[in-house]
Amino acid sequence: MKKVLILTAGFGEGHNAAARNLRDALEMVSEDVRVEVLDLFESSYGSFNTLVKNAYLGVVQYAPRVWGGIYSLLDNSTFVENRLTGFSRLKNALGDILHEAQPDCVVSTYPVYAHVIRELYRNYSERPFRFITVVTDSITVNSTWFRAPSDLYCVANEPTAAVLKAGHVPEAQIRTLGFPVSPQFTEPPTTPVNTPVFGEPRRILYIINTGKKKAGKVIDRLLEIPDAHLTITVGRDAELKAKLMERTHEHDDRVRILGWTNQMPQLMLSSHLVIGKAGGALVQEAIAARCPMIINQVIPGQEEGNARLISEHELGAVAERNREVPDLVKEAFAHKARLWQQWRKNLAMISKPDAALRLAELVLTECECSDPTRGKKRLFEPSATHAVPPARAALNGPAESRMLLCDFHIHTNYSDGKLSVPEVVDFYGRLRFDCICITDHLADPRRLIGKLARLSNMTLAGDQLEEYFEVIDRERRRAWKKYNMLVLTGIEFNKDGYTKKSSAHLLGIDLKAPIPPALDLPETIAHIHAQGGLAVASHPHIMKSEWGKNTLHLWENQEKYAPLIDAWEIANRHNIFDCVGMKRLPFLANSDFHKPKHIYSWKTLLYCEKNPEAIKECIRRNEHVSITLYREDNQFTRNAVRPGETGNEADMIRLEPHLQLKAAHR
Ligand code: ZN
Ligand code: ZN
């Protein structure tokens, strides 16, 4: 088993994107590799880091001109080196991790780590692992990236390689592989992109994250272009989404407005043009998708390089102001789309959609070069007492019953949860859960509260349901391979009325396909059962500790629903509903997880075989079902809560995977 440690930092978008994509690619190309992504700025600095990050992001987002100044300062001085003494905690943390983990290869997507590693191994004969830096900047590359040594430097393109050569990095150490975009960019587009002829739609993807105020006007003018079809993404800005929906409602046959989406690769692969800011990841993704780009904002500093990449290589255009965007779009498609065709041709020459896979292959080759004689400890693998059999063995070996730790009520950022689906999988996987079910809210649009909820982006949008199923499907495979954990797809159907007695939340567990949101409860349950899923009443009684509304409809109408419902939550997070026990109804206990600290809550233990059918049958029969209160143990408390520190405890749990968290029952 090869071990790869990827170091990143949440500053800006490029570093994290590169780290995650490389991890996904490594797991795709090899069965024999264990990869961890670590953001030490998050886990070793706590509140201090938040401060640094806010300062950094604040400067980047709100005062681009100031940032430009800082950027050149960084480049010309020994800014990082001088601050290394201040980074002693980071250094100690990284030293501990490297000592324990003994990785074969360490990859850094953030320049500071190279300096820390140089400090760590200054007095040692040799660093016992290969070290690769993935430069996430393009053309305007800060020298911090290469002032400390790495075995190899991977860059996105030739102009960036030239900057490193000019900075005296030996040519043999530079690899021009492309920016590691998601391996999903290698998939064929769902809607192929051809030169649009008269009357055919020009599919334009408009990614709004800045210039929101003027976006409406730009959209109006884009819609004046004949055959322009717009897909607009607004991220988490529910207010903007509502405004734009109203503004464009007359054109809803050619305007689609999305909130937050996981499907960016497919959207780009299927679009003729993308409009957005010159962010590192976005520009590289557009290039990978061969989708010409119109840049509507450039922050001085790193982003200038990205914009130059587009303009100098003629891969699209850079608008001086947002209002010039519609004219640039018109120009692109004028004269039988001559300009657009040229952009596409140029893109085809430099696009490297498989960069992450190539980089993964390189990392695996480098693993072979690391010193094979040193003793290898097993940090990345579960400790002996928690040994998890390899997935394959579990599949082929004799099926046997065992105690399974489960959580069937989990929210992600598809509704009002904090973590994304992949983050939830990593979070629960590292805690060695056996089975989880992701259950984001789906509101009934016929109910007033449902309508409000839809606008506030706190529930799954109807047009995102398919994407939701796809994303969980993908993560299901990864979770099984990496953590031997089952991931089920679920939905929490919110049927909210004006009163608690007319409100109900119903979980559908292990669903195979979307179910329409505007159905009555019995119809919804029938759909769940038709798919082989379980219908579970969530928080069916009065909740004492939550501010949320109570949902008593199912409980108040037990005679009607008890025969239809497979199980009732006897406990939800900190609440316990003894009435469910008194009535001897089939039961389950769940976290109703929205953020990391919710992990400390009631859970279900099942004694059965580890596969979805056996798990569902165990719940239906409600034999060998028990509940447990999952609490942090002392070791965790000792490690995570440091005296005098007011860091966010929850984030610590999420970001310190090297802590051995244990379930109290094991
Ligand atoms: Zn609920
Ligand atoms: Zn819930």
Classify 529 as helix, strand or coil: helix
Q: CA-CA distance, 457 to 452, in Å (whole number)? A: 9
Residue of higher predicted confidence among 209 and 289: 289
**Average of per-residue pLDDT across 556-582:** 94
- 205 CA distance to ligand 2 centroid (A)? 33
If one compares 649 and 438, the residue with the highest pLDDT of the two is 438
Mean pLDDT of 116-120: 86
Q: Quick one: which ligand is closest to 506's CA?
A: 1
Same domain, 108 and 152: yes
Say if residue 77 is in the same domain as residue 207: no
- Percent of the chain that is helix, strand, coil (3-state, to 5): 45, 20, 35
pLDDT above 60 (res 50)? no
Ligand 1: centre distance to CA 568 (Å): 13
Identify which of 96-100, 415-419, 531-535 has the greatest average pLDDT.
531-535
Which pLDDT band, with edges at 50, 70 and 90, does 593 fall under?
very high
Q: Are residues 564 and 460 in the same domain?
A: yes
**CA of 409 relative to ligand 1 center, distance in Å:** 9
Confidence of residue 508 (pLDDT cuts 50, 70, 90): very high
- Together in a domain, 175 and 246: no
Q: How far is the CA of 607 from the centre of ligand 2 (A)?
A: 25
pLDDT of 652 over the 60 cut: no
Sign of the torsion formed by the C-alpha atoms of 336, 338, 340 and 346: positive
Characterise 347 by phi-psi region: left (phi > 0), alpha (psi -120 to 50), beta (else): alpha
Nearest ligand to the CA of 438 is 2
Report CA torsion sign: 72, 78, 81, 86. negative
Note whether 194 and 177 are same-domain residues. Answer: no
Q: How far apart are the first and last CA of the chain?
A: 26
pLDDT for 440 equals 96
Between CA 635 and CA 662 the distance in angstroms is: 9
Indicate which ligand has the atom closest to the C-alpha of 410.
Answer: 2
Q: How far is the CA of 83 from the centre of ligand 1 (A)?
A: 47
pLDDT at 569 over 50: yes
What's the CATH number where 204 sits?
3.40.50.2000
Mean pLDDT of the chain: 82
Q: 296: domain range?
A: 189-350
Give me ligand 2 centre to Cα 471, in Å: 19
438 with 359, same domain? no
**Residue 662 pLDDT exceeds 70:** no
**Pick from 326, 318, 247: nearest CA to 283:** 318
Rounded Cα–Cα distance for residues 326 and 230 (Å):
12
Ligand 1 center to residue 647 CA distance, Å?
Answer: 29
Residue 517 domain flag: yes
Statement to judge: residues 140 and 111 lie in one domain:
yes
Residues 412, 553: one domain?
Answer: yes
Q: Do both 304 and 228 map to the same domain? A: yes
* 424 shares its domain with 297: no
Q: Is residue 62 predicted with pLDDT exceeding 50?
A: no
Residue 315 class from Cβ within 10 Å (0-12 exposed, 13-18 middle, 19+ buried)? buried
Spatial separation of the C-alpha atoms in residues 121 and 309, rounded to whole Å: 36
Of the candidate ranges 19-28, 49-58, 288-297, the one whose mean pLDDT is the lowest = 49-58
**Cα(505) to centroid of ligand 1, in Å?**
5
Q: What is the CATH number of the domain that holds 603?
A: 3.20.20.140
Query: What ligand has the least distance to the C-alpha of 491?
Result: 2
In a domain, 379, yes or no: no
Q: Indicate whether 46 pLDDT > 70.
A: no
More confident of the two residues 292 and 50: 292
Distance 441 CA to ligand 1 centre (A): 8
* Residue 395 in domain: no
Determine the distance from the C-alpha atom of residue 638 to the mean position of all C-alpha atoms in its chain, rounded to a whole number.
29
Q: Label the pairing between strands 534-537 and 504-509.
A: antiparallel
User: Is 122 inside any structural domain?
Assistant: yes
The amino acid at residue 39 is D
- The rounded distance, in Å, linking the Cα atoms of 27 and 391 is 14
Do residues 657 and 428 lie in contact, with contact meaning Cβ atoms separated by under 8 Å? no
Can you give the pLDDT at residue 320? 87
pLDDT at position 212 is: 77
Q: Are residues 476 and 568 in the same domain?
A: yes
Claim to verify: residue 564 and residue 596 sit in the same structural domain: yes
Q: Please state which of the ranges 4-8, 208-212, 522-526 shows the lowest mean pLDDT.
A: 208-212
For the segment 227-286, what is each residue's pLDDT rounded down to a tens digit?
A: 999 999 998 888 888 899 999 999 989 999 998 888 899 999 999 999 999 887 899 999
Residues 376-405: pLDDT tens digits?
Answer: 433 333 333 333 333 333 333 446 788 999
How many structural domains comprise the chain? 3
Task: Write down the number of H helices and E strands in the chain.
Answer: 27, 22
Distance 335 CA to ligand 2 centre (A): 54
Q: Is there a domain that residue 390 lies in?
A: no
Q: Above 60 in pLDDT, residue 660?
A: no
Rounded CA separation 633/653 (Å) = 12
Quote the ligand 1 centre to 506 CA distance (angstroms). Answer: 8
Q: Which ligand is nearest to the CA of 590?
A: 2
Ligand nearest to the CA of 594: 2
Q: Classify residue 91: in a domain, yes or no.
A: yes
Q: Is residue 300 part of a domain?
A: yes
- Ligand at shortest distance from the CA of 592: 2
pLDDT at 91: 78
Q: Which ligand is nearest to the CA of 573?
A: 2
